Amino acid sequence: MKNILVINSGSSSLKFQLIEMPSEKVLASGLVERIGLETGKVHYKSEKFSTSEEMQVKNHSVALKKVTKYLMDPENGVISDPSEIPAIGHRVVHGGDAFSDTVVIDEKVKATVKELFSLAPLHNPPNLNGIEVAEEIFPQAKQVAVFDTAFHQSIPSEANRYAIPNEFYEKHHIQVYGFHGTSHKYVSEKATEMLSKANSKLITVHLGNGCSITAVKNGKSVDHSLGFGPVNGLIMGTRSGDIDQSVIFYLIEQLGYTAKEVSDLLHHKSGMLGLTGYSDLRDIEEQAEKGNRECQLALDMNAYRIKKYIGAYAAAMNGLDAVVFTAGIGENSNVIRKLVCSDMDYLGIELDLEKNDERSKENREISKLDSKVKVLVIPTNEELEIAKQTFAMIS
């Protein structure tokens, strides 16, 4: 048995799980939030102890040191020494075209992650910071990087290239990279197990505040809705998803917006928030039920966009075995699943409404027994996937 510490460093947060492998037992988990602000919060949970503590957390180093203190607490901790953690798995959002798989981190890897800051300015800098802090606190542990983009490196050229002059691809590496790859990989593997069919054609639908959809053929990502950055594709909590490029030119040239203002608009003020004033889907569903037409329209638009991608990906793969819903909205919103799967019988998708309404945290099938295409709900577990890949690197 080996303990794998999984770290997901955000700009002002640090999520963690300590997982015993290969048993996959979660020994401890938690979140440090509001890092760098006047008042931070540390959440920690293990089998025998849980707490939430308010304190100032100046930086990620302070955050991880606090987590380590909880892990090694003489009375309530789960380990007695840092050496009991032989490896640490880090989520790194953007690996560009440099990384197609999980890697043990060295100076060259860190330098490449730094070079990619411009492609993921909100994510890669704190990801690298988390790595450097972990190296300081756990010098004896192997540091392993698991890239969100790696799973999508298998997307073929006809699907990952943009129809712009070749020099932008060759010199500047502008192409589809994709995101949420760790989640799509995890749920597609679970779906393959549930179907007992190795050569399967799946569409995995990751719906949270950020949303994406992937065509997975025989275990490989072959197309994906997010591209060079994380703003296109499906309608998200605050992100617009697909939009006519002419709208961007119009905003700049006719309405006087700067490029930075347009970026902020499309990333932080659009999507469900822009359509309804709410970014949390639970609030939108509640308002729609009360007769709010804007909220109902937003739900219809959201589902319609997903349906279009399902149709396109079924055509691209020349078939479909299952549609898989995952992440916070995908796992919990029976409303969105119903809207997406309605009037899809031509593709062989027939939802069982009673199964769809059931509340469960388990992997489950919610389609009718005779549905040609299965509809599955599989809770994602990115931390476990990172732990599995990290464990494989040291075994």
**Which spans in 48-205 are helix H?**
60-71, 107-115, 124-137, 157-160, 166-170, 181-195
8 labeled part of a ligand binding site: yes
Question: What residues have CB less than 8 Å from 335, skipping those under 6 apart?
Answer: 285, 288, 299
291 labeled part of a ligand binding site: no
The Cα 215–Cα 382 span in angstroms is: 18
160 labeled part of a ligand binding site: no
The Cα 373–Cα 364 span in angstroms is: 14
The residue from 81, 101, 148, 242 that is catalytic is 148
40 labeled part of a ligand binding site: no
Residue type, 285: E
330 labeled part of a ligand binding site: yes
281 labeled part of a ligand binding site: yes
357 catalytically annotated:
no
331 labeled part of a ligand binding site: yes
Question: What residues have CB less than 8 Å from 201, skipping those under 6 apart?
Answer: 215, 216, 217, 218, 314, 317, 318, 319, 320, 321
329 labeled part of a ligand binding site: yes
* Closest among 137, 278, 155 to 215, alpha carbons compared: 155
206 labeled part of a ligand binding site: yes
The Cα 352–Cα 331 span in angstroms is: 15
Total number of residues shown for the chain: 395
Question: What residues have CB less than 8 Å from 306, skipping those under 6 apart?
Answer: 205, 207, 213, 234, 336, 340
Burial environment of residue 266 by CB neighbours within 10 A (0 to 12, 13 to 18, 19 or more): buried
Please give the annotated binding residues for ATP, written as ranges: 15, 206-210, 280-282, 328-332
Please give the annotated binding residues, written as ranges: 8, 15, 91, 206-210, 280-282, 328-332, 382
User: Which residues are marked as active site?
Assistant: 148
Please give the annotated binding residues for Mg(2+), written as ranges: 8, 382
Please give the annotated binding residues for substrate, written as ranges: 91
